[in-house]
Amino acid sequence: MEKNTVRHLAKVLRVLVLAVLVLNLICLPLVPGIVAYVSDGGPGLLVRAVKEEVEMWLGQGNEAHFPIAVVFLTSWTAVWGEAYTSLLTLFYWLCGICTALILWQAKKVLNTVLAGDPFRMVNAHALKRAAICCWLISGAALVRLILWLWMERNAAPLFTYNTLFVPAFFMAGLLFQVMSALFRQAAELKEDQDLTI
């Protein structure tokens, strides 16, 4: 009974992981547009632009403004004009790509759980890659925080989500590393046991 429950949960989790992975991949090309909007007028401008675009699609809005799609396409070149927007775009892309890789590794581990053979060396390698991705995000967040503190010359950046990325992803990387070692040890024990039999 417990085995069926684990497989059922693994199926649900696999669907959720795939859904988040698809959303992550859809968001990656939108990063320059989001950075352009946020750097020009803050998050409020982006929210207003999306609201106006939705109203226009529904036939209720003013059609005298630029469609959001045009802004997002032109922002692919505009974000590279300033150091701040360039670094912010690169930071979000790095985090997005690393997150996609972490989700892909999770999908690989869940596939072996669903196959009924989770204690394999391939899972240890997948978890190790996930740990490296977590550490890359943590390191990039630390570099961004240091640069942001240097540019602002006050403590305001310490009270942002970016500050939370540093310890959260560092600890997640440690957790993935420990899980990788456990899966490696379990795979080696299983291999030895299979050879003994």
Counted domains in the chain: 2
Residue 38 CA to residue 122 CA, distance in Å, equals: 41
Whether residue 78 is found in the same domain as residue 22: yes
Radius of gyration for the alpha carbons in the chain, expressed in angstroms and rounded: 22
Residue 93 lies in a domain: yes
What the block records as the tokens of 160 is 């942002």
In degrees and rounded to multiples of 5, residue 70 shows phi and psi of -65, -45
Whether residue 130 is found in the same domain as residue 165: yes
Full domain range(s) for residue 123: 119-197
User: For residue 60, what pLDDT is reported?
Assistant: 61
Residue 144 CA to residue 162 CA, distance in Å, equals: 8
- Asked if pLDDT for residue 43 goes beyond 70, the answer is no
Tokens 């690169």, residue located: 90
Whether residue 85 is found in the same domain as residue 139: no
In degrees and rounded to multiples of 5, residue 40 shows phi and psi of -80, -40
Residue 25 lies in a domain: yes
Evaluate whether 97 touches 89 at the Cβ level (below 8 Å): no
Per-residue pLDDT of 145-189, as tens digits, reads 999 899 888 888 888 888 999 999 999 999 999 999 999 999 999
Tell which wins on pLDDT, 177 or 60: 177
User: For residue 9, what pLDDT is reported?
Assistant: 93
Whether residue 74 is found in the same domain as residue 143: no
**Torsion of Cα atoms, 160 then 32 then 126 then 169, to 10°:** -10
- Asked if pLDDT for residue 71 goes beyond 80, the answer is no
* DSSP code, position 66: P
Whether residue 67 is found in the same domain as residue 136: no
